[in-house]
Amino acid sequence: MTTAGATKAVHAKAPGKINVFLKVGALLDDGYHDVATAYQAVSLFEDVRATPADDFSVSFTGPIDTSSLAVDGSNLAIKAATLLAHRAGYRRGVHLEIEKHVPIAGGMGGGSADAAATLLACDTLWGTDLGRDELMELAASLGSDVPFAFAGGTAIGTGRGDKLSPALAAGQFQWVLALADFGMSTPEVYRELDRHRDRHAQDIFPAAIAPQVDTAVLQALRAGDAHMLAEVLHNDLQAPALHLETQLASVIQLGEENGALAGLVSGSGPTIAFLAPDLDGALELQIALSAARLTVVRATGPVHGARIVSD
């Protein structure tokens, strides 16, 4: 990684995710909702290269238009680096170069993956060596999905989504992702769900009952069976996301008419995740959706979490 006289750099990567199941419970006093989710990490990775610097900065490369992203202290990767420096008593800074592959504001945890990869890259670069437990604790304070981007694989998330327990998983699932040319705000989608629940008082989730992941979801993941999983894909944020962006319903329909076992809004949207029966089915679906002028990428899951890469 280091040669005499060369600038030292550490490269880490972390994956995006699909919530194959997301049940939203009560709105808590802290403004977050109690959730129960099954996460699967998928093969769209954020690459973060960290080099020593006197202050904190970030720049972006890669195939995605990143012009909308903040590069100041409000950027989650910068927040991750400053948080780690503060915790470890490190007095200098870092430059982060992020090669983005996960859609921005797409409901796939791209910002969370940036933060997770940054924590690992800076911990290695600075030799702060905090260890996994402390890095996971910092991850949770950065955002609900950051611990999972760090852990990867397949996991159940409760609390805000940050309390993880591993789930057994077999095989590989084939996904086709239809990307939107706009982003959606996670708080706004949660607020739309709350408005709906207020309008229909019978839908209010009882605060005393914690949401749970259906056992059928765990069975399908354990079996590595796409047909079983397709039957039980579920996202409570789908209805509010479709209410805010009505055109997404026709994208789901198009995918399901062209061989997808099922389509689902990913996280708070607007990315639509289609589960394909196998690789051939995924390729056919990719062609059909591309022909309809949608922007489409394929991904497989589960994949590993945040890792150092030796270039």
Residues marked as catalytic: 17, 145
Q: Is 127 within any annotated ligand binding site?
A: no
Select 19 or 128, whichever has its Cβ closest to ligand C5P.
19
Nearest distance from residue 220's CB to ligand C5P, in Å? 23
**CB contact at 8 A, 153 and 304:** yes
When asked if residue 35 is in the footprint of ligand C5P (CB under 6 A), the reply is yes
Give the three-state DSSP class for 279. helix
> How far apart, in whole angstroms, are the C-alpha atoms of residue 226 and residue 176?
13
Which string of DSSP letters, residue by residue, matches 74-135?
Answer: TSHHHHHHHHHHHHHT--SEEEEEEE--SPTTSSS-HHHHHHHHHHHHHHHHTT----HHHH
Select 19 or 258, whichever has its Cβ closest to ligand C5P.
19
When asked if residue 79 is in the footprint of ligand C5P (CB under 6 A), the reply is no
Bridge partner residues of 99 (DSSP): 47, 61
> How far apart, in whole angstroms, are the C-alpha atoms of residue 204 and residue 294?
36
Q: Which two tokens stand for residue 56?
A: 């904190």
Contact with ligand C5P (CB under 6 A) among 2, 5, 30, 31: 31
Q: Is 106 within any annotated ligand binding site?
A: yes
When asked if residue 161 is in the footprint of ligand C5P (CB under 6 A), the reply is yes
Nearest distance from residue 135's CB to ligand C5P, in Å? 17
**CB contact at 8 A, 179 and 248:** no
When asked if residue 190 is in the footprint of ligand C5P (CB under 6 A), the reply is yes
Select 33 or 101, whichever has its Cβ closest to ligand C5P.
33
The piece of 26-34, 85-93, 118-126, 196-204 that touches ligand C5P (CB under 6 A) is 26-34
φ, ψ (nearest 5 deg) of residue 193: -60, -45
When asked if residue 37 is in the footprint of ligand C5P (CB under 6 A), the reply is no
> How many C-beta atoms surround the C-beta of residue 99 within 10 A?
17
Select 143 or 281, whichever has its Cβ closest to ligand C5P.
143
Q: Is 110 within any annotated ligand binding site?
A: yes
Which string of DSSP letters, residue by residue, matches 17-43?
Answer: EEEEEEEEEEEPTTS-EEEEEEEEEEE
Please report where in the chains the tokens 């290695």 appear, as a residue: 124
The piece of 138-146, 169-177, 241-249, 291-299 that touches ligand C5P (CB under 6 A) is 138-146
Which string of DSSP letters, residue by residue, matches 44-77?
Answer: EEEEEEEEEESSEEEEEESSS--TTS--STTSHH
When asked if residue 186 is in the footprint of ligand C5P (CB under 6 A), the reply is yes
When asked if residue 45 is in the footprint of ligand C5P (CB under 6 A), the reply is no
Select 37 or 286, whichever has its Cβ closest to ligand C5P.
37
Nearest distance from residue 23's CB to ligand C5P, in Å? 11
Binding residues for ATP: 103-113
Contact set with ligand C5P (CB under 6 A): 31-33, 35, 143-145, 160-161, 186-187, 190
